[in-house]
A and B are shown apart, each in its own frame.
Chain A
Amino acid sequence: MNKGADDVRKNTGKLLGTVARYVCYAAFLLVILFPLYWIVTMSLKEYKDIIAFPPKFWFTPTLDHYREVLFGGASFSSVSNMPEFLRYVLNSLLTTGSAVALGLVLGLPAAYVLGRVRTKLNEQIAGTFMSYRFAPELAVILPLYAIYKNAGLYDTFIGLILVHQLIVLPLVVWIMRGFFREIPRDIEEAARIDGANEWQIFLKVMLPVVKAGIGSAMIISFVFSWNNLLFGLVMSGGGTMPVTMGILQTMTFDQIKWGEMAAAAVVSSVPGIVIAVFAQRFLVKGLTMGAVK
């Protein structure tokens, strides 16, 4: 009898625990998803529905804001009358894509050495890479602004790609160092016995082993470089303006075009959302790999 009552109590406790857990899940989901839902619906609402109060949950969706942002309302025929926002998207793609490529070319060999040869000096160099990540960027880019103005690098893609190394390079080095370190010594030794030199070992033996790691480093540095606003604010004029600044262009001094702002925001979030849905595993692996000592 007593045992039965005990079981009932235990089961009720377990049930309550499960219910509490799912309530927490639901709360987290709601808090994360509601703001996203809100911006997406805002981008699909007509102006009168956007400013309606109380807020409207049911409305007739329209693609006008996307049409306005991406195609400038009317149709465009050549690059010269391309809608501004589309130009910002291309600017961002060019800047971020090249910055990640440059970061990999510079960072992969460095990460290989820093991961495989663990001398005190190398640990210090790796630490310095990371400390750049923690310092306020303005400490470098404010003086760099003056240098760029003099050197003609202001508002150029080359200048921006170099500045983005402040984000990309530490991430690539830090993440890839973790991946290179995990490779068993045997693989390296076997290649060396076969007569491969250091560069061949790096290019033909090590790089293929850390392919997944390179994917992680690419994804993570791409998304943080794409999302950056500050570098564009300081280093871009009209010619290289990134997509994050493009969103701000929908908010002029006398009015905010809410619908276009929302549509621009949704478009600029596409890379992040794609990565979250299709490459979430790489993201998590990369972030935690950097955390391993």
Chain B
Amino acid sequence: MKKHGVLSVFTDNEKVARFFMLMPAFLVLVGILVPFVMGVWTSLTDKKLYATHSNFVFLQNYIDNFTNPVFLTSLRNTLLYVLMAILLQLPLGLLAAALLDIPSRTKGFMRTVLVFPLLIPPIVSSLIWKTMMQPNSGMLNYLLGLFGIDSFPWLTGIHTVLFSLVIVDTWIYLPFVTIILLSGLQSLPSDILESAQVDGAGPIRTFFAIKLRWLKTSILLILLFRICDSLKTFEIIYSTTRGGPMNASRTLNIMAYEEAFRWSNTGQAMSIVFTLWIIAFVVSTYLMGKWNKSGIE
């Protein structure tokens, strides 16, 4: 099978071959750093979208951000969105996974239905919910009306809009949370469960004392994905409220996009993106580290 020729070093030497297998993807990885570093530089200038000349202003954009009430509101909204999403999705996901873990004839059907929201475009889901959340003609307020409940402002109220968006987020991403938790539950060795039953633990105690502890790795992974993804949530907000009413649903990612493409302030937009990037970087590094270690104990 061995052939000798010019290419033999490239094919026969194990290390050389592996180097060339990894290289193309690695170059992409490094290539992505080029615009990234340029972006960091831009955030230190007063660059406008269509201007050819720009001045170095050092940290001025960042200082402007932290004295700008809209930025501070956006920062608050971003963090609140993440917090609400996690608090809603983790318990609901646990419930759904625990239910689907029980052997049942409907399981196959349930799982097919479960993944629908994850697979259709988020913009579609957002528009569906936007129509259902219309204040006067929407389906949801009609249903509430049937029960004699006053109409709820959903996406139009400054105190309700963020929560309404989190509902949409939850509808889309709960399947992901459930899939990861379910696979965690199903990888639980049966002898651990049996020994708990021998000890006389009921189903609820078994769940909290054994299953939940077993799920630690899965939960860390879910936190990693869901925190980072909701920090940069874009499609859901862009296609429904674009940050309104009165900035009540403006997040850092939406603000950065608008700053860049609506107001043409590239430098300012970049400084907002990198503030967000730093938050995401700190969170993801911390959680990835914890996740890597979680299996070893």
A53 touches B137 (CB 8 A): yes
- Give every chain B residue within 8 A of A113 (Cβ-Cβ): 18, 21-22
Inter-chain contact B22/A128, CB cutoff 8 Å: no
Mask, A253-293, CB within 8 Å of B = 1, is 00000100100010011011101110010011001100101
Q: Are B39 and A269 in contact (CB under 8 A)?
A: no
Would A127 and B18 count as touching, CB distance under 8 A? Answer: no
**Contact flags (1/0) for B166-197 with A, using CB distance below 8 Å?**
00000100001001100100000000000000
Write out, one digit per residue, whether chain A residues 66-83 have a CB within 8 A of any chain B CB (1) or not (0).
000000000000000000
**A35-B129, A197-B11 known; A165+B112 contact, CB < 8 A:** no
| Residue picked from B13, B121, B257, most chain A C-beta under 10 Å | B121
> A160: CB under 8 A from chain B?
no
CA distance A61 to B38 in the complex (A): 54
With A and B bound together, what is the CA distance between A135 and B137 in angstroms?
38
Task: State A269–B117 Cα separation when bound (angstroms).
Answer: 10
B94 to chain A, nearest CB (A): 12
| A197-B277 in contact (CB<8A) | no
Q: Encode A23-56 as 1/0 by CB contact (under 8 A) with B.
A: 0110011011101101100100000000101110
Bound-complex Cα distance A143 to B12 (A)? 41
Instruction: Flag whether B164 is at the interface (Cβ < 8 A).
Output: no
Interface of A (DSSP majority class):
helix
- B137, A51: Cβ atoms closer than 8 Å: yes
In the complex, B273 has a CB within 8 A of chain A: yes
- Comparing B27-35, B55-63, B65-73, B205-213, the segment that makes contact with chain A is B27-35
- Give Cα A25 to B218, complex, Å: 23
B116 touches A138 (CB 8 A): no
In the complex, are the beta carbons of B110 and A287 less than 8 A apart? Answer: no
**Is the C-beta of A218 less than 8 angstroms from some C-beta in chain B?**
no
| Shortest CB distance A123–B (Å) | 8
Residue contact A35 to B125, C-beta cutoff 8 Å: yes
Interface residue ranges of A190-208 to B (CB < 8 Å): 194-200, 202
Q: Is the CB of A288 within 8 A of B183?
A: yes
Contacts of B128 in A (CB 8 A): 35-36, 38-39, 265
**Selected contact of B39 from candidates A35, A131, A140, A223, CB within 8 Å:** A140
Closest to A105 in B: B24
Does A209 belong to the interface (CB within 8 Å)? no
Rounded to whole angstroms, the CA-CA distance of A25 and B99 in the bound complex is 8
A183 interfacial by beta-carbon distance below 8 Å: no
Q: Which of B26, B116, B295 has the most CB of A within 10 A?
A: B116
Identify which of residues 147-184 in chain A touch chain B, using a CB-to-CB cut-off of 8 Å: 147, 165-166, 169, 173
Give A133 to B232 CA distance when docked, in angstroms.
Answer: 11
The answer to whether B232 touches A106, judged by C-beta atoms less than 8 angstroms apart, is no
Identify the stretch in B80-88, B154-162, B278-286 within 8 Å (CB) of chain A at 4 or more residues.
Answer: B278-286
A94 within 8 Å of B (CB atoms): no
| Residue among B42, B122, B176, B276 making CB contact with A229, cutoff 8 Å | B122
Is B111's beta carbon under 8 Å from chain A?
Answer: yes
Pick from B106, B122, B284: contact of A227, CB under 8 Å: B122
Q: Are B32 and A140 in contact (CB under 8 A)?
A: yes
Q: Does A247 contact B (CB under 8 A)?
A: yes
Q: Which residues of A lie under 8 Å from residue B99 when comparing CB positions? A: 21, 24-25, 28
Which of chain A's residues have a CB closer than 8 A to the CB of B241? none
Given contacts A143-B270, A144-B35, contact A136 B280 (CB under 8 A): yes
Which residues on the A side are within 8 Å of B285 (C-beta)?
131
- A-B contact list, 19 entries, CB within 8 Å: A28-B114, A33-B113, A38-B139, A51-B137, A106-B25, A109-B22, A129-B29, A136-B231, A138-B260, A140-B35, A142-B273, A146-B266, A197-B17, A227-B122, A247-B127, A269-B124, A273-B119, A280-B112, A291-B218
The chain A residues found within 8 Å of chain B, CB to CB, are 21, 24-25, 28-29, 31-33, 35-36, 38-39, 42, 51, 53-55, 105-107, 109-110, 112-114, 117, 125, 127-144, 146-147, 165-166, 169, 173, 194-200, 202, 223, 226-227, 229-230, 233-234, 243-244, 247-248, 258, 261, 265, 268-269, 271-273, 275-277, 280, 283-284, 287-288, 291, 293
User: Which 6 A-B pairs rank lowest in CB-CB distance, beginning with the nearest?
Assistant: A272-B119, A198-B17, A109-B21, A110-B25, A143-B39, A134-B228
